[in-house]
Amino acid sequence: MTLAEMLAAFATAPVTADAQMRRFVGFSLADWAAVGLAGVDEPVARAARQMAQEDSGGLGVAAVIGGGRAAARAAALANGATSHALDYDDTHFLHIGHPSVAVIPAALAVAEAQGASGADFLDALTVGLETACRVGAWLGRSHYEAGFHQTGTSGAFGAAAAAGRLLGLDRATMAQALALTATRAAGLKSQFGTMGKPLNAGFAAETGVTAALLAQAGAESAPLAIEGAQGFGPTHAGSALDDAFAGLGTEWVFPGISYKFHACCHGLHAMLEAVGSLMPLDPDHISRVRIRTQPRWLDVCNQAAPETGLQAKFSYRLTAAMRLAGVDTAALASYSAETAARPDLIALRDRVEVIGDRALRDTEAVVTIDSGTGSVTARHDLAGRLAPELIETRLRAKAVSLLGAGRAEALWQAARALPDVPDMARFSALLGSPG
């Protein structure tokens, strides 16, 4: 059996996902929508919406986040770029990338075009997200280090699986869609720090929709297009890890997904979690804060005295002070020149010391806080799993921080209602709303 056939068998079979998988798909969907809506005014989101508008003349079958409608493929592209614009979406370390921003836009565009039910949409996400993670793991670290961006590459395979399922492709046709994806998938890591990074997510989403539509229309590809001689993996420094597909269809790797709860550099998150676990503490009584972190972060996010909002997003000292003072680190608006200039935060910031510690992993941080009542220490490792109940609580709080309570609640309710609704209308309408 070829790799395309094996993945097609998985993507077209009845979905046997366990309750945990389904729960995490729901979390990712709601978080994706909140982050996407929060990103609509980013320059890359505006550019992608304008491109979709130019391409489709304002007509189309699918909603564009931030308003308007477009052709299915253009909507997938725009929504992928918009939802990755803030880099605040979910991450899967096995996948080595961001699965939701490629898979969800592809599935949503096709679900709208097809008039699919909410349940069918969720099933498509389930197989698409799992496919993206498995293919990302199969491509492996060598692919990433050679310069490829799994969000764009393995993301396209997940997007094709999700789009193809919603089109009702049979197994052989789904295999063609996945094989066609092999000659279309792309995305370079050298785009990081530019709009090319979020666009890679949009391109992946569009590639999936395109390949699925072409296969549905009868297009055929090379059977060994993914793993064969000069297939996608061999031409793109793929690791071809044998066990990447172990248990596919019975075991689910996607629930290992990580969510971002703070709107700042990922290197600060373990520290912010450790600080949070020590709260509440009265800032006025704090005499000293010591942060231990893996030394590689010291070049990345250790701005000692930030002055701008962007600098604030890369500052151990200021974000620790913000968290201790009760500033919402999940809200984008918290990272501002005004925040950086607040005298009380500067006073607290100047009592924070940052220490590199090679004994720590780069997902870990140790924080020690001295106050009038003594010294307390907490350690946090982002690689640890959180209880689903806690994740939900925190994702809902994040959505409130990003969108306000009313829109956040409407979004979570619409996502929660999907298993029982006949179409995507209510959910999609929230994405286009002006806020």
Residues forming contacts to its own copies in the complex (CB under 8 A) are 43-44, 46-48, 50-51, 54-57, 59-61, 71-74, 77, 113, 146-149, 152, 179-180, 182-191, 193-196, 199-200, 203, 209-210, 213-214, 216-222, 224-225, 228-232, 234-235
Nearer to its own copies (CB atom), residue 155 or residue 255: 155
Rounded CA-CA distance 244/222 in Å is: 22
CB of 183 to its own copies, least distance (A): 5
CB of 70 to its own copies, least distance (A): 9
Nearer to its own copies (CB atom), residue 167 or residue 382: 167
Nearer to its own copies (CB atom), residue 78 or residue 268: 78
DSSP state of 262: S
| Residue ranges of E strands in 210-320 | 286-293
CB of 286 to its own copies, least distance (A): 42
Nearer to its own copies (CB atom), residue 193 or residue 434: 193
Q: What are the strands of the beta sheet with 374-381, ordered from one edge?
A: 352-356, 286-293, 364-371, 374-381
CB of 224 to its own copies, least distance (A): 7
Residue 59 C-alpha from the chain's centroid? 28
How many beta carbons lie within 10 A of that of residue 183, not counting itself? 16
Nearer to its own copies (CB atom), residue 210 or residue 319: 210
**Three-state DSSP state, 63:** strand
CB of 73 to its own copies, least distance (A): 5
Side-chain-side CA neighbours of 309 within 13 Å: the count stands at 9
Nearer to its own copies (CB atom), residue 104 or residue 182: 182
Nearer to its own copies (CB atom), residue 147 or residue 406: 147
Nearer to its own copies (CB atom), residue 185 or residue 408: 185
Nearest alpha-carbon partner for 352 in 395, 284, 288, 304: 288
**Token pair of 374, please?**
């003594």
How many beta carbons lie within 10 A of that of residue 383, not counting itself? 13
Nearer to its own copies (CB atom), residue 214 or residue 395: 214
CB of 343 to its own copies, least distance (A): 36
CB of 61 to its own copies, least distance (A): 7
- Radius of gyration (Cα) for the chain, nearest Å? 22
Rounded CA-CA distance 209/166 in Å is: 10
CB of 194 to its own copies, least distance (A): 5
Nearer to its own copies (CB atom), residue 220 or residue 282: 220
Cβ atoms of 243 and 94 within 8 Å: the answer is no
**Three-state DSSP state, 306:** coil
CB of 369 to its own copies, least distance (A): 41
Cβ atoms of 112 and 50 within 8 Å: the answer is no
Residue 394 C-alpha from the chain's centroid? 16
Cα dihedral 42→47→52→53 (10° resolution): 100
CB of 251 to its own copies, least distance (A): 31
Cβ atoms of 186 and 224 within 8 Å: the answer is no
- Sequence-distant (6+) residues with CB within 8 A of 135 are 7, 153, 154, 157, 158, 244
